[in-house]
Amino acid sequence: MSDTIEARLASLGVTLPTPAAPQANYVPVVRTGNLLFVSGQIPIGPNGIEFVGKVGQEFGIEEGRACARLCGINIIAQTKAAIGDLEKVVRIVKLVGMVNSTPDFTDQPKVINGCSDFLVDVFGDKGRHARSAVSVASLPFGVAVEIEAVIEVA
């Protein structure tokens, strides 16, 4: 993959949003050394918060994947705001994906793949990462997915 990260985003039809401001007492990104810790990102789109509800109830796996992809877009937006140039991303190190799902729903990994697949599409092999995908009883604002990231940067 010789084209730029910005070109790959454009080819995927993605325009990065202005990153959302924190809604509580935390910062969106902390840099220590060459690592960025990106706070949990929720599915905020052009019209505000999207995908309010539970996977396995209001949403199926495909809608959950779309929600996770939107979280991934917001992770990249926060990363760009923190470092300025996405070419400085060395590797997506780890994701922690939380799925607001019904007690009997067990396909959390398939949902979080919406973000994982997107990050590989954008960053190529640098987008391959370690990951957790867990179910939770609820998430802020009732959203279906929240994802945090650890990213190595130059």
- Burial code (b: 16+ CB inside 10 Å, e: under 16) for 16-33 equals beebeeeeeeeebbeeee
Residue 77 pLDDT greater than 80, yes or no: yes
pLDDT value of position 1: 45
Mean pLDDT confidence for 34-62: 97
Domains by residue range for the chain, with CATH:
1-11+38-130 (3.30.1330.40)
Mean pLDDT across the chain: 96
Global pTM reads 0.96
The Cα–Cα gap between 68 and 144 comes to 9
pLDDT value of position 20: 87
Q: Grade residue 2 by pLDDT with cuts at 50, 70 and 90.
A: low
The per-residue pLDDT for range 113-149, each reduced to its tens digit, is 999 999 999 999 999 999 999 999 999 999 999 999 9
